[in-house]
Structure formats: structure tokens, C-alpha cells
Amino acid sequence: MIKVITYGTFDLFHEGHYRLLKRAKALGDYLIVGVTTESYDKTRGKLGVVDSIITRIENVKKTGFADEVIIEEAAGQKFNDIKKYHIDIFTVGSDWTGCFDYLKDCCKVVYLERTRNISSTMLREQRQQIMRIGIIGNGRIANRFVPEVKLVSGVSVQGAYNPRVHSAERFAEKWEINAYEDIERFYDAIDVVYIASPHSSHYDYIKGALEHGKHVLCEKPLVLQKRQAEEAFANAKKLGLVLFEGIKTAYCPGFQKLLGIACSGVIGTIRNVEACFTKLEREDSRELTDTLYGGSFIELGSYVMLPILKLMGAGYESISFDSINGENGLDLFTRVTLRYQNGLATATCGLGVKSEGRLLIAGTKGYILVEAPWWKTTYFEVHYEDVNRVDKYSEVFLGDGLRYEISEFLFRINHGGKEDFKLTRGESITLAGIMEQFLETRQE
Ligand code: CTP
């Protein structure tokens, strides 16, 4: 009996898939089809898969060509499956030509001609209206944002607005998009807004964008006053729009996994969280010269407060700030201490002092250690009283990580703004309140 194996996502099952499976089956007597899991697809950069794995398996089975369906959940699995199932022929479409030649030592490799003019990507794009993003602010982060948008389906960058039009023009030329000087024309041309302007301008831009009926993805810190955050979220809700704070850590798969493990009980009850993030900046950088809204905590505080709010909650009994300030009064280094009824937390950040950037979560049965850059979580360890026992976890973090945030933003829009568990409105409001309290201490 000749055994054949093939693999795919088989999202939005189409003619190309059907023809591939038919020809794969005809290559032998017994066909095994490997269908990818959602998490494996995410690790290989396919972020927009529509059908659940159950639907995708059902669709493969319905063709009647598959004698057996298996799940493909990790890179490197193909090699082992070929040995395990005693495979004679491995086959995939010609879009993969050459990619699997390494399997030729174990079995025959056949690339079947791909059916023209059809793909899941095409179907996904036809299904969803492409969201046109307009960017406000054209600094460093906006330059990192544009290439990441290209990796998320269902969205494209339409143009950039900047009151300093030359800056918008330079940015637009670099990324081959449109530059807008007139904000009304800008809003007319787009569906959603990404705000990456200086912190102090976020509130007004959020207000304006919502009033123009646009969903908003805004860089952290969203706003610097609790009242402003409450008002902005209430407005968004009233207008049926999504207001979304861009703290990329909150949306990356490794951080999700970390929260899941931390809250699973393996380290017992969480009693202490310590998060530190430092990034040395030049003395003449915007971050260290904007005397109103610069400094370490405004810049990095959202990152270090995130795991604390996620794991210990917003119900702290007290919060205090301690800073080392530069000559212009901006904090070069800040430590925030929070006391909870049954726990403690410390958030440390610095732009002018370098320290070990780690996240430590201590519980009654063990602790979790995530080394820098924990804010782009890829690896963490769980330690116990028995020093010989260490559980290790890893997860991918692709590119600059903004793609996770962008795809979550689109997901939120497509689900009517619900499902904000990765970073809730309440958490964003608490963060704005903490920023406000910090700025009050600076004025004292
Ligand atoms: N396939 C094919 N002809 C097409 C599309 C896909 O022969 N027009 C084949 C692929 O080469 C692969 C299998 O079908 O062997 C499953 O492919 P999959 O990646 O699930 O489908 P795509 O339509 O290529 O999906 P996407 O657009 O998400 O990459």
C-alpha cells in the first residue's frame, strides 16, 4: 500500500484545496492530511485565519479523499510524521517547490501544480472590507508600524496626517502613501486611525477621530488623566466605535501564555510582581527633553505596570513613586511600589539608568522568571522550592510585534468592540490614572 501525506491550513475551503487533495489521493492508496492548528499558523505568521480548526477538518473530510486527518501543531513535525506513519510520498502545492526537498532522504517528494487564481488569502480579502488606516504622527514608532501593517490581512495604510506638513510628506514619500495637511480630507479618506503623535496630543486626536466616526488605535500611554480616559471610552461606546490602547506586550502570544501559566495555580497564589524595563536614551532625545510629558515613567511605565495590573489587579491599597530626576526635573529612573491586601508589586523603569530588565512573579508555591526583553515575551521559566525542577516555556514573537496588536484591533472591530480581555478598558483607565498621579508628584 502506498501511503501519501499532505499538509495545509485549508481555510475557507476552495477549489484549489479540493483539486490538490484529489491529486494527492491519486498518487497512492492511503492519504493522510495534516491540518494546522491556529497557534501553529500564528507562529508562522498566518494571523488572519477565519475558519476554526474543527470546520477546516470537517471540510477536508467532506471531500472523501482523506483516509486519515491529523493535526499539525509545530515546525519540524513533518519529518517525524513521515517516519511514524511509514509514508511513501510527501506532497504539497507548487507554491512550496523546493521548500521540502530536505524530506527526500525519507520519502518521495512531489510538488503538485497549484490551481491558478484562487487562495484563502484572496477569499479572506474579498470577505472583509479592507480597512484603510490613517496615521497621525510620523515618528519612530510610526515608521515601525507601517511594515507591520503589511503583514496583517484586511488592512492597508492609506495616508499620514501631520500639522507640520513637510514631516507628513517625507513620511508619505518613504512609505508610498498619501500626505494630508487638511485633517478633514484625511478623515474622509480613511476608516480607522492610528495615533502615534506626542503623548500630550493623544486626547484631542482621540476625541476628533471618534467624532469623525473612526475606530482608534492609540499608542501608549493612551491619555494622561483618568477622567480623559473615562470620557474617551464612554464616547467610543456611545458611538459604537473601538478605542484601543497599543501596548504591544498585551497582545503578543508569549505574554498571553505567561499570564495563563501564572494564573493556573502552578506557582500557588501570586504575592509579588516585580517588573523592570530600562532603555538608555540620549540626553538630547525627545524622551529626556520634553519637560512636560517626557521622562522614564511616562515613556515606559505602561509596559512595567501591565503585568502588575494583569496579575494583581487594580485594587491596590497604596501606590508610591520614587524617582531620580535629571537637571530639567524629568525622571531618569523611577520605581513605583504598590501594596495590595495580600501582596506587593514594584515597577521600575529608566531612560538614564541601566538595570536588569526582568519580570519576576512570586507565588506561594514557586516563581516565574522572564528575562529581558520580557516585554516581547518569547521564553520563561517556572521555578520551585526544589531547585532541580524547572519548567521551561517558549513562544514566538515575530518581527516588531506590532502585527499582533494590529490584528487584535481588527478582531475587536469585527466583533463589535467586545472581547477586550487582553487589555480591558478598565485597565487602560487605571493606567491613565496612575500616569496622572505620577505627574502630580512631579509638580509637587
Ligand atoms: N493549494 C493549491 N492551489 C491553490 C491554493 C492552495 O494547490 N490555489 C494547495 C497548497 O499548495 C497546499 C494546500 O493547497 O498544498 C493547502 O494550502 P493552504 O495554504 O491551506 O491554502 P492557500 O489558499 O494557499 O492559503 P493562504 O492563502 O492562506 O496561504
Check if 35 has its Cβ closer than 6 Å to any atom of ligand 1: no
What per-residue confidence (pLDDT) applies to 442?
79
50 Cα: distance to centroid of ligand 1 (angstroms) = 14
What average pLDDT does the segment 4-23 reach?
97
What average pLDDT does the segment 47-69 reach?
94
pLDDT digits (tens, 9 = 90+) for 192-224: 999 999 999 999 999 999 999 999 999 999 999
CATH 3.30.360.10 segments of the chain: 253-396
396 Cα: distance to centroid of ligand 1 (angstroms) = 23
> Whole-prediction pTM value?
0.84
Burial 108-127 (b: 16+ CB within 10 A, else e): ebbbbebbeeebbeebbeee
Q: 417 falls in which pLDDT band (50, 70, 90)?
A: low
How many helices (H) and strands (E) are present in the chain, helices listed first?
A: 16, 19
Residue 397 pLDDT greater than 80, yes or no:
yes
Which ranges in 7-139 belong to alpha helices (H)? 15-26, 38-43, 53-62, 77-84, 120-127
Q: 11 falls in which pLDDT band (50, 70, 90)?
A: very high
Residue 255 pLDDT greater than 70, yes or no:
yes
What average pLDDT does the segment 402-429 reach?
90
pLDDT digits (tens, 9 = 90+) for 370-381: 999 999 999 999
Protein residue whose Cα sits closest to atom 14 of ligand 1: 17
Hey, what CATH topology would domain 253-396 get? Dihydrodipicolinate Reductase; domain 2 (3.30.360)
pLDDT digits (tens, 9 = 90+) for 95-114: 999 999 999 999 999 999 99
Check if 121 has its Cβ closer than 6 Å to any atom of ligand 1: yes
Check if 8 has its Cβ closer than 6 Å to any atom of ligand 1: yes
SS3 of residue 301 by DSSP: helix
191 Cα: distance to centroid of ligand 1 (angstroms) = 30
* Higher local confidence (pLDDT), 88 or 292: 88
**120-246: CATH, from 3.50.50.60, 3.90.1170.50, 3.40.50.720, 3.30.200.20:** 3.40.50.720
Residue 27 pLDDT greater than 80, yes or no:
yes
Percent above pLDDT 70 for the chain: 99
Task: Give the whole-angstrom CA distance, residue 321 versus residue 316.
Answer: 14
pLDDT digits (tens, 9 = 90+) for 420-431: 899 999 999 999
Check if 120 has its Cβ closer than 6 Å to any atom of ligand 1: yes
Chain-wide mean pLDDT for the chain?
95
Put the strands of the sheet holding 108-112 in their side by side order.
68-72, 30-36, 3-8, 89-93, 108-112
Check if 91 has its Cβ closer than 6 Å to any atom of ligand 1: no
CATH 3.40.50.720 segments of the chain: 120-246
CATH 3.40.50.620 segments of the chain: 3-112
Protein residue whose Cα sits closest to atom 12 of ligand 1: 93
pLDDT digits (tens, 9 = 90+) for 333-376: 999 999 999 999 999 999 999 999 999 999 999 999 999 999 99
Residue 151 pLDDT greater than 90, yes or no:
no
Task: Give the whole-angstrom CA distance, residue 417 versus residue 237.
Answer: 8
What per-residue confidence (pLDDT) applies to 125?
78
Hey, what CATH topology would domain 3-112 get? Rossmann fold (3.40.50)
What average pLDDT does the segment 408-421 reach?
84
Q: Which of 6, 12, 17, 44 is the pocket-test mutation for ligand 1 (most atoms within 8 Å of CB)?
A: 17
What average pLDDT does the segment 82-95 reach?
97
70 Cα: distance to centroid of ligand 1 (angstroms) = 17
* Residue 344 in grid coordinates: 506587593
